[in-house]
Chain A
């Protein structure tokens, strides 16, 4: 079975307090030099059958209507070999 990964990230202009909280904790833990952190979601889809153009189009539609809320989030779809 092929794996397709959908990465979902808040749009750059949307405040990400979770990422900020992580970023603020870093110096406390001794990790210096990280100017910014943004937190996203990764979906790993195990796809039955061939991942052809039609299958990818369906996954794109799934990401656009359900996995991501395109009002606030961007997403990318990629096939893992």
Chain B
């Protein structure tokens, strides 16, 4: 039986279909999850996709964090289930305290949409094992609230433990501290990043490359070998 990857749809989620498609292209069985259901339908891993859940009211990800599905996801993530948060999903993961720090309005206050180069800094998480450390990838980036912040102590801790998973290359698009584009929790099962790997899984769309597919092949390999 192939691995089941769940993708949550909140009101305002935009990229759930792309994430489901990316999971399928990697060879997984994509499973749609609904924010009001606690039931995770026996998925092996969860993707929190991009968009503007609950209109980003209050703070990006702040309201979604308290939805019924998140109760189950927080519990399972703490027990080791792999969770990937992309963009709005990353914001939800920080609001849920599954990842440290917080996401704030871009330092230039503009919505940004560009092809973004990243350096892979940690190739040992559940979602990055198909990459190599130092590898440069290019995936689309589009956000309003993409500025990663944390206090100095937390940043030093993340650096020391190798938990900065991705860093922006060439351009820091939003003022994120220490050029951080993505981080992982200590166990390596929860990963969050602002850019969108799910939009770069086929040559026809996105950057025209398939640099993002590695996230989904990584997790599939991990789950199938588990």
Contacts and interface: CB of A to CB of B under 8 A. Distances in A.
Contacts, number: 34
B107 A21 contact: no
B59 A15 contact: no
Q: Classify the secondary structure of A's interface with B.
A: loop
Chain A interface size range: 10 to 19
B105 A71 contact: no
Interface residues of B, number: 20
A18 interface: yes
B108 A17 contact: yes
A71 B59 contact: no
B94 to A, nearest CB: 8
B150 interface: yes
A34 interface: no
Q: Classify the secondary structure of B's interface with A.
A: loop
B107 A71 contact: no
B1 interface: no
Contacts of A67: 58
A8 B41 CA distance: 38
Contact of B149 (A18, A21, A72): A72
Contacts of B109: 17-18, 21
A47 B100 CA distance: 33
A73 to B, nearest CB: 9
Interface in B150-171: 150-151
18 contacts: A13-B151, A14-B149, A15-B175, A17-B105, A17-B107, A17-B108, A17-B175, A18-B109, A66-B66, A69-B59, A69-B62, A69-B95, A69-B102, A71-B94, A71-B100, A71-B102, A72-B104, A72-B149
